[in-house]
């Protein structure tokens, strides 16, 4: 069994600048200016890159890499604080921190790849059987960390990472090292670490906002043990089976209606059926406790994330309509409040006089916060749009937006389903149309403070042809089953009762309602 990995090119002239004594290296790492993580990260990255480009024994290299890894764990946390921002595009400092964290993970993975390759070239070296799975796990752990970073800032995975992760897994399987316990009992096995990478990708993390992604990662690590690998020949029900092409540089794909008859590629199936059953048990238990929860907003968010992840791990979402290339310029207003203004022709919604303080002054019109985008492709269900040089941190996954073709007056309402930061200037987002006509309204619960302020919302009409009930889009956290709401429309006040929750995203709750008695 051979393992071919891409390794850095040796540069002998760097040998004099590399610290090869683990104790002195540890002291140097401790002395890094951690109060300034960008400076500390650059210094550490330069030192690690030089270490990866000079020759030394595998054992000596591993000792040095373990010192780097220990420091990197705390440094990554500091960099994470800088690039963990609410929206895209990233500010300059956040982008720098993300790129630095990305390079550090890749360099550390490269170092362990060099050590692994050196060890495997000396097949009879004592202790190989124990150290090889440990090294494979450490490389995969860096790829898992890298994937979380890429998903958090909506960057694509670096070229070649998927293929190398697949190669490492395949080698571990063929060498019967896949489930071998690590010498460090706190580290997961090779198989479990590889499952982390696969399951996180299958959850379609680019559809989640940052705080939601934290929960997705938690679900992945808690439930990965219930996912199992199967030979392609043992394909069962299409639901819950995903093809991992081990000889291709791409993530796992949902099998769906595909048949594996005659499949000649080097692949394996990931079976998530048992994992999803366990998720459903947890979901039922959480729903039963939600009525008594002190913080219903957080519980409902957790429930909704469980549902979304469970759907992705059962049957991945697929495109209903074929995308058609387009270059149509469009106007977009980001956020529920901005969408309400658009639908209401720029007029602000006013609180009823009965609950206003004497010193409250309202502006009856507001300038719409319009941004210019260009359609990349479109279908009857939505659009992929792109923009250059957007204001930083304006766009979030799971946000409501209003959009219209430039030069037109009518606004549609859509939801941001995915984001992709192509580079520092260009941003792409996927929009799913919620409705082509909505009404701007004000609402508040009927049970509560007498002078509680009304909040802006969007009233979505019933569509009998699609058997779609009337819905209300409100700020996140407002939904509660059977909750009675007072809604102010242009025709006066109506009483409605919240019914089925359609979806809860980071920027809004969307739920069906029925007219009150």
pLDDT at 127: 58
pLDDT at 171: 94
pLDDT at 294: 72
pLDDT at 262: 60
Q: Quote the pTM value.
A: 0.88
pLDDT at 346: 83
CA dist list (Å): 328 to 325, 383, 400, 404, 420: 10, 11, 21, 10, 19
pLDDT at 359: 39
Identify the DSSP state of 347.
B
pLDDT at 361: 37
pLDDT at 126: 57
**Residue 262, phi-psi category: left (phi > 0), alpha (psi -120 to 50), beta (remainder):** left
> Angle at CA 19, nearest 5°, toward 17 and 23?
160
pLDDT at 364: 45
**Which residue stretches of the chain have pLDDT < 50?**
356-364
Query: Which residues, at least 6 apart from 53, have a Cβ–Cβ distance to it below 8 Å?
Result: 8, 9, 10, 11, 14
Identify the DSSP state of 30.
H
Domain spans of the chain, in order of start? 12-187, 208-256+265-318, 321-517
pLDDT at 447: 85
Query: What distance in Å separates the CA atoms of residue 144 and residue 138, rounded to the nearest whole number?
Result: 10
Render pLDDT for 420-453 as a digit per residue (tens, 0 to 9).
Answer: 887 777 899 999 999 998 999 999 999 876 667 8
One-character DSSP codes across 125-150:
-TTHHHHHHHHHHHHHHHHHHHHHHH
């Amino acid at each position: 069994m051979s393992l071919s990995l891409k390794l850095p090119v040796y540069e002998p002239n760097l040998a004099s600048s590399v610290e090869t004594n683990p104790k002195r290296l540890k002291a140097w790492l401790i002395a890094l200016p951690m109060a300034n993580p960008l400076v500390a990260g650059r210094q550490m990255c330069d030192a690690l890159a030089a270490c990866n480009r000079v020759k030394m024994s595998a054992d000596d290299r591993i000792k040095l890499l373990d010192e780097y890894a220990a420091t990197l764990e705390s440094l990554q946390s500091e960099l994470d604080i800088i690039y963990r921002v609410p929206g895209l595009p990233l500010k300059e400092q956040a982008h720098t921190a993300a790129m630095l964290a990305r390079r550090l993970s890749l360099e550390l993975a490269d170092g362990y790849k060099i050590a692994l390759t050196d060890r495997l070239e000396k097949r009879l070296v004592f202790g190989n059987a124990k150290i090889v799975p440990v090294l494979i796990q450490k490389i995969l752990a860096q790829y898992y960390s890298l994937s979380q970073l890429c998903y958090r800032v909506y960057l694509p995975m670096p070229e070649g990472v998927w293929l190398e992760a697949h190669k490492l897994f395949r080698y571990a399987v063929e060498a019967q090292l896949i489930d071998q316990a690590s010498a460090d009992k706190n580290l997961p096995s090779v198989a479990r670490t590889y499952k982390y990478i696969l399951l996180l990708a299958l959850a379609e993390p680019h559809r989640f906002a940052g705080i939601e992604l934290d929960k997705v990662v938690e679900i992945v690590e808690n439930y990965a043990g219930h996912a199992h690998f199967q030979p392609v020949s043992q394909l069962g029900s299409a639901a819950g089976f995903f093809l991992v092409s081990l000889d291709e540089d791409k993530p796992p794909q949902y099998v769906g209606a595909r048949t594996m008859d005659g499949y000649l590629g080097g692949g394996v199936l990931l079976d998530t059926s048992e994992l999803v059953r366990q998720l459903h048990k947890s979901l039922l238990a959480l729903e039963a406790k939600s009525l008594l929860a002190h913080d219903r907003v957080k519980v409902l968010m957790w429930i909704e994330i469980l549902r979304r992840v469970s759907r992705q791990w059962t049957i991945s979402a697929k495109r209903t309509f074929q995308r058609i290339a387009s270059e149509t310029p469009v106007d977009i207003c980001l956020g529920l409040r901005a969408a309400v203004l658009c639908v209401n022709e720029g007029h602000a919604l006013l609180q009823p006089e009965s609950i206003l303080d004497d010193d409250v002054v309202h502006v009856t019109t507001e300038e719409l916060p319009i941004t210019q985008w260009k359609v990349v492709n479109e279908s009857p269900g939505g659009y992929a749009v792109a923009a250059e040089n957007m204001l930083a941190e304006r766009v979030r996954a799971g946000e409501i937006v209003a959009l219209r073709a430039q030069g037109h007056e009518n606004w549609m309402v859509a939801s941001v389903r995915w984001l992709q930061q192509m580079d520092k200037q260009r941003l792409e987002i996927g929009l799913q149309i919620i409705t082509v006509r909505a009404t701007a309204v004000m609402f508040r619960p009927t049970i509560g403070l007498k002078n509680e302020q009304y909040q802006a919302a969007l009233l979505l009409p019933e569509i009998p042809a699609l058997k779609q009930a009337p819905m209300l889009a409100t700020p996140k956290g407002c939904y509660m089953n059977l909750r009675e709401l007072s809604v102010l429309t242009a025709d006066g006040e109506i009483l409605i009762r919240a019914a089925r929750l359609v979806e809860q995203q980071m920027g809004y709750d969307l739920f069906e309602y029925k007219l009150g008695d």
